[in-house]
Amino acid sequence: MARSFPVPVRALAFSAAAALLSGFANGPALAGASGPFLAHQALYELKLIKSRGSNAINGARGRILYNFSGNACEGYTSEFRQVSELDSGEGRMTLSDLRSRSWEDAAGKSYRFKIDSRMNDTDSAPVDGVAERVGDRIMVKLKQPVTKTFELDGKVVFPTEQIQHIIAAAREGKSVLELMVYDGSDNGEKVYNTLSVIGQPIPGTRSIASPDPSTANDQMKALTRWPVTVSYYDRDAKGKEGEQTPVYAMSFELFENGVSRALVLDYNDFVIAGAMGRFDVRDSKPCK
């Protein structure tokens, strides 16, 4: 069966991926605690570092290009593209191309997203929608893949909120954080339960075994960062089985300005490393 990298569209909220977007959570108090996030572009080179289980693969490679811009007044925009190639053996190659663009209100009240994914020569299956906080609920309106309106629990957070909460928890010395996250991925209806494990802070003055363009940048050298692992669980499967296995997990070093480096994406059957190959700071408008 053809397979592609199921990388979350949080961009590497994060910077990658998904998933790893930057943003402000629930208002000025929390935003002030973490300071502004950096507008930037980052390129990550992907390669296979481990293959295991009955569905072991022979090779994997690809790239993630991530753009982040905006400010606390106008909201934040992220653009994410991942092109990846998976070698399943016996000449079976899968080429996938995932693109996403999203905008999130700095207070976490509104989230717009558009995701387009292609595998080999198949037609794309776009997801397009908007999520708005209304009272203690979140109202989601999908345009694609089908026209649909549904509600989510108001405790669910969007991608930039998620990263903001992780940084706030890290600053408070917390090591574990549980959040429900909605990013519009899959068919636009999926909510993930996430468990973030946060390590001890790494001061900017500490020597780095594997430096990259982010650690060499003058604006980044003095910043604290934290090793973080976020595991994503299928919320709908909770309670149906015993101890749940995460759908995937992401490890990275998260700077206090929202930039992520040293990515590791674990999809159970295989593990991908994402080394930062390029890092550019972008001009951003000050918040009026």
Q: Is residue 132 domain-resident? A: no
Do you know the residue count of the chain? 288
- What's the rounded Cα separation, in Å, for the pair 75 and 77? 7
The bridge status of strand 192-198 relative to strand 11-20 is: unpaired
In the chain, the N- to C-terminal Cα span, in Å, equals 52
Range of the domain at 215: 11-101+155-281
- What's the rounded Cα separation, in Å, for the pair 58 and 55? 10
Enumerate the β-bridge partners of residue 256: none
What is the domain count for the chain?
A: 1
Q: Is residue 255 domain-resident? A: yes
Q: Is residue 26 domain-resident? A: yes
pLDDT tens readout for residues 74-117 = 888 999 999 999 888 777 888 888 899 999 998 889 999 999 98
**Residue 23 contacts residue 37 (beta carbons within 8 Å):** yes
Q: Is residue 247 domain-resident? A: yes
- What's the rounded Cα separation, in Å, for the pair 260 and 230? 13
- What's the rounded Cα separation, in Å, for the pair 114 and 128? 4
Q: Is residue 140 domain-resident? A: no
Whether the per-residue pLDDT at 33 is higher than 80: the answer is no
Query: At residue 287, what is the residue type?
Result: C
Q: Is residue 126 domain-resident? A: no
C-alpha torsion 279→280→285→287, nearest 10: 20
Q: What is the pLDDT of residue 147?
A: 95
Whether the per-residue pLDDT at 38 is higher than 90: the answer is no
With H, G, I as helix, E, B as strand and everything else as coil, classify residue 12.
strand
pLDDT tens readout for residues 121-157 = 787 779 999 999 999 999 999 999 999 999 999 999 9
- Residue 87's Cβ-count burial label (10 Å; 0-12, 13-18, 19+) is middle
Lookup: tokens for 198: 């946060």
Q: Is residue 191 domain-resident? A: yes
pLDDT tens readout for residues 201-248 = 999 888 888 889 998 888 898 899 999 999 999 888 755 556 778 989
- What's the rounded Cα separation, in Å, for the pair 172 and 34? 11
pTM: 0.84
Closest CA to 45 of 279, 280, 275, 278: 275
